[in-house]
Amino acid sequence: MVERLQSLIREVKTKLDEANMYQAQCLLQKAAKDYPCAETFNNLGVFYAFEGRYDRKENRYNAFFRAERLLKRALRKSFLPSAELALGYLYFTRKRYKNAVCCYQRAYCKNRDFPTAYNVALSYYKMRKYHQAAIWATKALEKGTEAEQLEATILKLFSSQDLKAPECQRDIERVMNIDDMFLLEDKFVLTYLRGDMKAAQGQIALLLDKCCLEASVMAMVFDCLLSQNLVCDANSALERRIKELHDYDYNVNSEIHRLQKAFSRESYRKRLIASYRYDHPAIFQYYYLE
């Protein structure tokens, strides 16, 4: 049986590499039917969780409930970290963060690695349990590579309740010294949230040029400029963003209205700023068991 499963998984991986999703799905379904065990249920559940369900014409459908049912069935037969990780991802994508935390923490008992600790931290952050998020971000820091440690540092900073603390100041400076265009928005938000308006102002021109900003970050841009009486600059930022929105192919009137309110009404601007959340996806972790 073991040799047959190993051969089947190799065949599945070949089909996946060829983007032949329906055939890969059929192989996994046949394995779960012919060899009903924790490993085959895990493999089909993982496929449904991360790839979805396919018909003969390769049309893709959501398969959340099928994946959840199979992964739970696998876990009833044996404790498999891969099944816990896939379940955690499923719950995370459905914003069921409490369930995601439980799954990721159980997986961490066996897989004490960076992605698992990071996903626990991120799930706690989404639940607004910032103290626990910071603790788990620190655990992730201890496990990651240099690039991964940067991701964990940023998450830890956003989980902090006092960005002016000496430890946070050191971490912020470290982030600021990294030349990476993908960090422009994070750098600006961290600078703004720690109250350094002059430094934040200096980042706005490049930020507007390179990034497509959501309303809560635009509210920070307005607040930063208006707090320094740079009304013309704030108005230019608003007009520029409205022009960008008009280039989109969907109805942008509601978003434009939000931006105009954020520009003109301080109370609304503050509410938008308070609604900001660090938006980073969970790290994919999935394994087909042989």
The per-residue pLDDT for range 50-79, each reduced to its tens digit, is 999 998 888 888 899 999 999 999 999 999
Q: How confident is the model at residue 285 (pLDDT cuts 50, 70, 90)?
A: confident
CA dist., res. 242 & res. 50, Å (int): 36
In the predicted structure, residue 250 carries a pLDDT above the cut 80: no
pLDDT of residue 8: 82
Average pLDDT (151-178) is 91
Residues of the chain with pLDDT > 90, as a percent, come to 76
Task: Please state the rounded mean pLDDT for residues 233-243.
Answer: 94
Residue 130: the pLDDT is 95
Is residue 77 assigned to a domain?
A: no
Q: Tell whether 270 is covered by a domain.
A: yes
Residue 237 in domain = yes
Q: What pLDDT, on a 0 to 100 scale, did the predictor assign at position 103? A: 96
Bridge partners (DSSP) listed for residue 60: 54
pLDDT greater at residue 175 or residue 6? 175
- Tell whether 267 is covered by a domain: yes
Average pLDDT in the 273-277 region? 93
pLDDT digit string, tens, across residues 111-130: 899 999 999 999 999 999 99
- Is residue 22, in this structure, part of any structural domain at all? no
Task: Let me know if residue 49 belongs to a domain.
Answer: no
Does position 213 have pLDDT exceeding 70, yes or no?
Answer: yes
The distance from CA 177 to its chain's CA centroid, rounded to whole angstroms, is 23
144, pLDDT greater than 80 = yes
Structure confidence by residue, pLDDT tens digits, 9-35: 889 889 988 989 999 999 999 999 988
Q: Which domain holds residue 251?
A: 180-276
Judged against a pLDDT cut of 90, whether residue 265 lies above it is answered with: yes
Query: Using one digit for the tens of pLDDT, what is the confidence trace for 177-204?
Result: 999 999 999 999 999 999 999 999 999 9
Q: Check residue 248 and give its pLDDT.
A: 79
In a domain, 199, yes or no: yes
Mean pLDDT of 241-263: 89
DSSP per-residue string spanning 29-76: HHHHHHS-SHHHHHHHHHHHHHT-EE-TT--EE--HHHHHHHHHHHHH
pLDDT for res 290: 67
208-215: list long-range contacts, CB under 8 Å, 24+ apart.
208/237, 208/240, 208/241, 210/181, 210/184, 211/184, 211/185, 212/244, 213/185, 213/241, 215/255, 215/258, 215/259, 215/262, 215/272
pLDDT at 286 over 90: no
Residue 53 within any structural domain of the chain: no
The residue among 192, 179, 248 whose CA lies nearest residue 218 is 192
The residue with tokens 């422009």 is 184
Could you give the number of structural domains in the chain? 1
Average pLDDT taken over every residue of the chain:
92
For residue 249, is pLDDT > 70?
Answer: no
Query: pLDDT tier at 205 (50, 70, 90 boundaries)?
Result: very high
